[in-house]
Structure 1
Amino acid sequence: MKISKWILAFYINSSIHVALAVVALTEITVLEYNLSVPKALWMFVFFGAVTGYNFVKYAKIAGLHHRHLTNSLKTIQIFSGLSFLALLYNIFYLPWDLMLIALAFGIPTFFYAVPLIRHKNLRSFTGIKIFIVAFVWAGITVIVPVKVAVGEVSVDVLLTFIQRILIVVVLMLPFEIRDVPYDSLNLKTLPQQIGVWGTKMLGEGILLICLVFEFFKLSTDGAYLISLLLFSVLLGAMLIISKPYQNRYFASFWIEGLPILWWGIYIFLAAL
């Protein structure tokens, strides 16, 4: 039992779970536009997500307590280091112009943890956290695979990019709600400014707008549309039941795992 709990904790805390979610969102884009991408891209997305998330989560902790790190955090550091090396290895198998695009989306992640202006990182700026995450996720999971496979970004792809930003914003809201008791008031997160219920209603409205955007596309895949609808309903329901004091793994496992479920639904519907 202890081993299984350790494995689950490591799986979540080392960002493997969230990295698989990012890969799933990338795969959804690949399926929606029938793209052909190299295997190195999947490795790049996965190890890039692990490296980026662990850097943001643990850089400050490691810097302050590097001599007194727990065994679990040391293990995560080693895993993150190996992931970074794997990321560098796979970079050489991808076009350099694509790396410049990926770098543009990666820079906000770096300055999210590292001071940018007057000893402040991007997280210190009011209400910007979820939009940075949404922008980076959308760029990596939509723009990057389209550029590596096609080279051109169409109007439909831009609409998908906007949809993805909106979806990730809503995915972040249960985390914002969860962190209400712990976040500094200076952060001015959405729940702090409009309340928990207001945040939930805003999220439901964003999901509705996301669905409306689908009907502005020049061509729509039926399987994608239905899977998007089902995913939105499920995400909306999970958002409604979110609360400041929630189960330990409600947000970090179930919410973060929804993109993986979305990918599974899309695969199932596309095979019918």
Structure 2
Amino acid sequence: MKFLKRVFAFYINSSIHVALAVVALLAITVLEYNLTIVKPFWGFLFLASLTGYNFVKYAKVAGLHHRSLTQSLRLIQIFSAVCFALLVYFSLQLRIEVLLLTVGFGMATFLYAVPVIRSKNLRNLSGIKIFVVAFVWAGVSVILPFVASEVAITADVFLTFFQRIFIVVALILPFEIRDVPYDGLNLKTLPQQFGVKNTKLLGLFILLSCLGIEFFKEYSEAPYLLSLLVFCVVLGWLLVISKTRQTRYFASFWIEGLPILWLLLYLLFQVF
């Protein structure tokens, strides 16, 4: 049992779970628009998400405690290094346009973690953190696959892009609620500025807006709309029950895993 707990903790802490969530969002875009994506791109996005998140989470910690890292953190460092090597391998098989756009999103991730503006990074700039993450997730899961498949970006795609930004913002809100006791007041997160209750109401409004955007698209299929509806209902419920004191994996497993559930629902509704 202890071994399984350690494996599960490594799965969460090494960002495998969140990387799978990003890939799930990519798969939803591919299914919605019937895109054809080369196989290396799937591995590339998974590894880029994993190494990017590990950099954001552990760069500062590793820099401060590089001589006294715990065994689990050292293992994550080694794992991330191997993943980065594989990332380079997959990147050599992709078009230059895809790599350049990825570098752009990667820079946003880099600036999120590394202080460059008055000794501050993007995470520490008041109120901007949540929107940086949402923009990057939406960009790599909606815009990037169109560039990779060389398909023109239409008005519907832009609507999906903004829809995805709203979804990711709603996904992050339970994390912001959890972090209220730990975040500095200078961060000015949504729960700090509006309170936990009003943040939940804002999240529900955002989810309703996501559903509303769907009706402005020129083309919308029933399986996607139904899966989006169920996804928004589940996320809305989890947002409502979110607290500042959460169980250990409420946000890092259940909330972050919701895009995977959305993909499974989409596939299920396509069958029927």
Shift of 1:170: 0.3
Which position in structure 2 is the counterpart of 1:24? 24
CA deviation map 1:3-45 (0-9, x unaligned): 0110010000000000000000000000000011001111111
- Distance in 2 (alpha carbons) for counterparts of 1:15 and 1:269: 29
- Distance in 2 (alpha carbons) for counterparts of 1:128 and 1:156: 26
Which position in structure 2 is the counterpart of 1:254? 254
Which position in structure 1 is the counterpart of 2:134? 134
- Distance in 2 (alpha carbons) for counterparts of 1:177 and 1:206: 16
Write the mapping of 1:1-272 to structure 2, written as runs, cut at 5 A: 1-272=1-272
Shift of 1:105: 1.3
Counterpart of 1:226 in structure 2: which amino acid? L
- SS of the aligned residue for 2:120 comes to coil
- Distance in 2 (alpha carbons) for counterparts of 1:257 and 1:160: 20
- SS of the aligned residue for 2:85 comes to helix
Of the structure 1 ranges 171-180 and 105-114, higher mean CA displacement relative to structure 2 is found in 105-114
Counterpart of 1:16 in structure 2: which amino acid? I
- SS of the aligned residue for 1:143 comes to helix
- Distance in 2 (alpha carbons) for counterparts of 1:36 and 1:117: 40
Question: What is the percent sequence identity of the aligned residues?
Answer: 62
- Distance in 1 (alpha carbons) for counterparts of 2:186 and 2:149: 43
Counterpart of 2:248 in structure 1: which amino acid? R
CA deviation map 1:199-227 (0-9, x unaligned): 00000000111111101111001100110
Counterpart of 2:251 in structure 1: which amino acid? A
Counterpart of 1:72 in structure 2: which amino acid? S
Shift of 1:150: 3.3
Is the CA contact 2:178–2:245 (under 8 Å) kept in the aligned structure 1? yes
Counterpart of 1:17 in structure 2: which amino acid? H
Give TM-score scaled by structure 2 length.
Answer: 0.99
Q: 4+ residue stretches of structure 1 with deviation over 4 A? A: none
Unaligned runs of 5+ in 2: none
Unaligned runs of 5+ in 1: none
- Distance in 2 (alpha carbons) for counterparts of 1:64 and 1:263: 39
CA deviation map 1:55-75 (0-9, x unaligned): 000000000000000000000
Give TM-score scaled by structure 1 length.
Answer: 0.99
Counterpart of 2:188 in structure 1: which amino acid? K
- Distance in 1 (alpha carbons) for counterparts of 2:29 and 2:258: 15
Counterpart of 1:15 in structure 2: which amino acid? S
Is the CA contact 2:97–2:147 (under 8 Å) kept in the aligned structure 1? no
Shift of 1:146: 1.4
**CA-atom RMSD in angstroms:** 0.7
CA deviation map 1:112-165 (0-9, x unaligned): 111121111111100111100000000000001111113321100000000000
- Distance in 1 (alpha carbons) for counterparts of 2:150 and 2:222: 22
